[in-house]
Every structure is written in C-alpha cells, then in structure tokens.
Amino acid sequence: MGEHPEQPANRLPRYPGCCMCGTGERSGTSVTFYVVDDTVRVDFTPTETHRGFPGIIHGGVLSALLDEAMGWAPTLKAGRFCVTGEMAIRFLRSVPIGRPITVIATADRIGRVCTASAEVVDAEGAVYARAEGKYVPLSIEECREVARALVAGPDTIPLAEWLAEEARP
C-alpha cells in the first residue's frame, strides 16, 4: 500500500459540521477524503480518542469512515450526493490505536440505488474490515443545498468536475 500521501491535490470538499470531515469542535476525526483513480480514500491514524476497548479503535469509528468513503464513491460517479440506504461490514481484525490505516472505496453500480464497497487496510496491505453498501442519490434541490454547505480549498476537486450541472448551487 505504501506511504500515506501528505497533501493529496485531489481532495474532496468538507462539510464543517460533519463528525468525520468537519473541522469544528463536533468533528471526531477531521479527516480528508481524496480520489485516486476510481477510488475514494481516506487516511487515518486512530488515537486514544477513538478507542473502543483498550488499545483498539472503536468499531463505530471504522463504520463511519467506511460509510463516508462509500457514500462519496457513488456521489462522484452519479454526479449527485448520495445517502446511506443500507450497509454491511465484516470486521476481520482489530485496528490498534496508533496504526495508520487507509479506507479505499469504489462505486460498483450507479442507478436509482447505487452500490459501493470498501476495505480498511494498513501500509503493509493487511485488511482489517470489508464493507458493502447501498446508497440513494438525493434530489436535485437537496444536492444544491449540500453543495452550498461544502467548503473547498485550492487543492479540492472543483464541483464542476463531478457534480451534475443541474445539482450545482
């Protein structure tokens, strides 16, 4: 898997109030999702704040990372923001606190209901969890509302490159 990129130039925008990618007090992770080829990725190193049992990350934190990455994957392919309809996760092994991991998500099918899959891996390629999900595209008006709330930076992929024209604010 290799080293985690320090400053990917292919970042996705953030929603300040999000518990995953937000930057405010409510954010539990403040992670940055980014695109590599046809995948959505996020690098994360769990700290004691993300602990479940002693020494390991809470499964809910892993679930949220998987869900967010899988939600972005069909969003980029469909050109409309998608929300979770259903998600299944298989936890294969515990992620130790302090172990850098990467979530890698792919859109598998785009339609009225989209599907996505993802894995949690470490730098050596060990797989910690696998997930599949069904995601539902939002209405055009809901997409516009979400797009207005996003914060982009100079290293963020422009909305015009992936959000359908009718869904842009």
The predicted model gives 123-136 an average pLDDT of 98
The predicted model gives 46-68 an average pLDDT of 94
- Asked if residue 28 has pLDDT above 80, the reply is no
Give 98: exposed, middle or buried? Use CB within 10 Å, 0-12, 13-18, 19+.
exposed
Residue pair 110/123 in contact (Cβ under 8 Å)? The answer is no
Task: Copy the structure tokens of residue 75.
Answer: 């969003």
Contacts of 155 (CB under 8 A, 6+ apart): 7, 8, 9, 10, 11
60 conformational bin, left if phi > 0, alpha if psi -120 to 50, beta if neither: alpha
The per-residue DSSP string of 31-43 comes to --EEEETTEEEEE
Please tell me the distance from the alpha carbon of residue 51 to that of residue 95, in angstroms, as a whole number: 10
At residue 2 the predicted structure's pLDDT band, cuts being 50, 70 and 90, is very low
Q: Pick from 136, 140, 131, 85: which is nearest to 111 by CA?
A: 136
Q: What is the pLDDT of residues 62-109, one digit of tens each?
A: 999 999 999 999 999 999 999 999 999 999 999 999 999 999 999 999
Residue pair 20/29 in contact (Cβ under 8 Å)? The answer is yes
All domains in the chain, ordered by first residue: 33-167 (3.10.129.10)
Structure confidence at residue 1 (pLDDT): 37
Prediction pTM value: 0.90
What average pLDDT does the chain have? 90
Quickly count: other Cβ atoms within 10 Å of residue 44's Cβ: 23
The per-residue DSSP string of 57-86 comes to B-HHHHHHHHHHHHHHHHHHHHTS-EEEEE
Task: Copy the structure tokens of residue 71.
Answer: 């939600």
Quickly count: other Cβ atoms within 10 Å of residue 23's Cβ: 14
How much of the chain exceeds pLDDT 70, in percent? 91
DSSP structural state of residue 156: B
Structure confidence at residue 146 (pLDDT): 95
